[in-house]
Amino acid sequence: MSDVNRPDPSDARQVVLALADDELCVGQNLAWWIAVGPFLEEDLALTSISQDELGHARALYGLLGDDIDALAYGRQPHEYRSAHLTELPCRDWGETLVRHFLYDTAESIRWQAFADSSWEALGAVARRALAEERSHLRHASGLLSRLLRTESGCSQLLPLFDQFAPMACELFDVPSGCSSDDLVAGGVMSSPLGDQRAEWQATVDEALAQVGYQPKWPDHKELGSPASGRDGQRSPHFATLHAEMVEVLTIDPSAVW
């Protein structure tokens, strides 16, 4: 392989950082459901998934440096790379479920693309995470398909897909300056993000086809284009989320578990 085709290692690191930040935000947001889930099993499910996602964030940050807490909590807001979908608070269970479905279907596809990565440690984390992800997906799609068999499920959940599916496309964006094609050429990822996104959209479409629904996907959004979240612009919800995450560290910077 010529050096021209080698991915810049910092590109791979940027993409891993973006993924880690997604996981951190989703994990933290889902933790809100502790003790207030709509029923006991759902309470346990959402908070177990929250723990898993935080664990995935930790494993990904661990690929980037030794001081995981500094990476997770010590950066300035503009240094985070999370997609805006992941920063949204989860206060409504319907919204939580739709976003959980969109996120975890996307995540499974992203992890799969890293499973045989030339960055071996990343491949190992991806394979490990994939084993855990299947139960997340089964939870999201099982609940969704059962609820979509009811009239009130359809009327409450389907409009949420129009609200969140376009936003979720950002999960397949990379920070500007990173090249998805270079990462594929260097073996870091097995397929370009554009292809991953197409596969994900087809999965979402298929899940909604049972009720004859087609989400309103954005028409001409350029694949892999620089998006605001990936380039450091935070959504309005990030400040509250971040303050909650660093609350203990702010009171006592030397606090340990």
**Positions that interact with another protein (CB under 8 A):** 27, 41, 44-45, 48-49, 51-56, 58-59, 121, 124-125, 127-129, 131-132, 134-135, 138-139, 257
Angle at which helix 40-64 crosses helix 93-114, to 10 degrees, equals: 40
Least distance in angstroms from the C-beta of 114 to another protein? 12
Question: In terms of CB distance, is 52 or 87 closer to another protein?
Answer: 52
Least distance in angstroms from the C-beta of 232 to another protein? 27
Closest CA to 113 of 195, 226, 26, 14: 195
Least distance in angstroms from the C-beta of 133 to another protein? 9
**Burial annotation 34-53 (CB, 10 A radius, 16+ → b, else e):** eeebeeeebeebbbebbebb
CA distance to 97, 130, 142, 154, 167, per residue, from 145 (Å): 11, 22, 5, 10, 22
Question: In terms of CB distance, is 125 or 169 closer to another protein?
Answer: 125
Least distance in angstroms from the C-beta of 200 to another protein? 20
Question: In terms of CB distance, is 83 or 129 closer to another protein?
Answer: 129
- Contact criterion met (CB below 8 Å) for 113 and 191: yes
Question: In terms of CB distance, is 95 or 132 closer to another protein?
Answer: 132
